[in-house]
Amino acid sequence: MHVGVVVNPIAGMGGRVGLKGTDGKVQEARERGAEPRAPDRARRALSRLAELDPDVRVSAVADPMGESLVREAGLEPEVVAEPSDPFGDAPAEDDEYARAETSAGDTRRAVEAFLEAGVDLVLFVGGDGTAADVAEALEGTDTPMLGVPAGVKVYSSVFAVSPEDAAAVAVSFERTERREVMDIDEDEYREGEVNPELRAIARVPVAEDLQSSKQLGGGTVESLAEGFAADVEEGVTYVLGPGSTLGAIKEQLGFEGSPLGVDVWRDGEVLARDATEDEILECLGERNVVVVTPIGGQGFVLGRGNPQLSPAVIQQSELEVVASRRKLDDLRVLRVDTDDPELDESLRGWIRVRVGAYETRMMKIV
């Protein structure tokens, strides 16, 4: 197996600081104290890859786009490409990933170099924007691609469920199929508009651990929202995630929430709107409840579109899941991907999901 590995070092940086993406917002993300997410996701995938296939051949891109991360996993990369201006004018820091200034062009040139090297698979670490760049460079070829999810928004069906799953798929797949690469305009996304655009069709390894494309829509949630609002408890801090289902709940609680952000509410008062991770942590009280709804078609309740709900927030809170019956009818299981494998493991198991004013349904987090 010959794998080409490329890492978008700035993917996902804007998530926990409330920017809902990093396109054009890298400097603002840094000013808000954002830390790189993609390198740790890459480490997890590459470490598992080395465990599963110690003899795997890896072509990589010079730092900060993967070279050292491959070596950390105990593999010796063949460096076939270099980013044109890896750090730009960013001031020197101990963590080179925190000052990376790589571009979409760097990603495309890396994939072109992988093709020249004859890789069997392009394994990339990033979000939908990175996926679109990889797919563009692979257009007209039969070389498959597989994503390690690290972005804030992951609408495409070319990603594995987790970094470890990406490694398992990479070493075990026997066939590929054509799948959609979707992306959205992040400026519209920040304004609450979600308009996924088909960017490409790409060859992707076929495996159960690949997620489906996000499907928008679902059944009515009015009774669900009314039931939730009727059951709120005094003194409890509610951390309300994004999505239209949560939007209906926020309306029942008497305020207009941020449609794609996280809002914090307690005892009739909005404590934080479109909150960052740090703002959420500042609002937490003696008892806290994180309320989320699964992504239609995928089943993720944590780790997709709500990175502000970090391990630090989740570990201090109870988890409540709400969803329309229609949405759950399309899901076999629920999923989590919090960046903390131990926390993910602790969350797995059966959970009661509110589907109406009084009704619940048992679903399994896997």
Confidence class for position 215, pLDDT limits 50, 70, 90: very low
Q: CATH number of the domain at 2-205, please?
A: 3.40.50
Token pair, residue 270, equals 């909005």
Q: What percent of the chain has pLDDT over 70?
A: 82
Nearest to 58 by CA among 146, 160, 66: 66
Choice among 63-77, 118-132, 200-214, 263-277 with the minimum mean pLDDT: 200-214
Amino acid, res. 64: P
Backbone angles phi, psi at 33, to 5 degrees: 90, 20
What is the pLDDT, as a whole number, of residue 219? 37
Residue-range domain boundaries for the chain? 2-205, 222-365
Half-sphere exposure of 349 (CA within 13 A, CB side): 5
Q: Which two tokens stand for residue 344?
A: 């993910």
State pTM to two decimals. Answer: 0.65
What's the rounded Cα separation, in Å, for the pair 340 and 245?
Answer: 26
Give pLDDT, residue 217.
Answer: 39
Structure tokens at 4: 């080409």
Higher pLDDT, 280 or 36: 280
pLDDT of residue 88: 64
Q: Is residue 283 within a helix (H) or strand (E), and if so which, with residue range?
A: helix 277-283
pLDDT (average), residues 14-26:
50
Instruction: Report the pLDDT averaged over residues 232-261.
Output: 94
Share of the chain above pLDDT 90, in %: 62
**Radius of gyration for the alpha carbons in the chain, expressed in angstroms and rounded:** 20
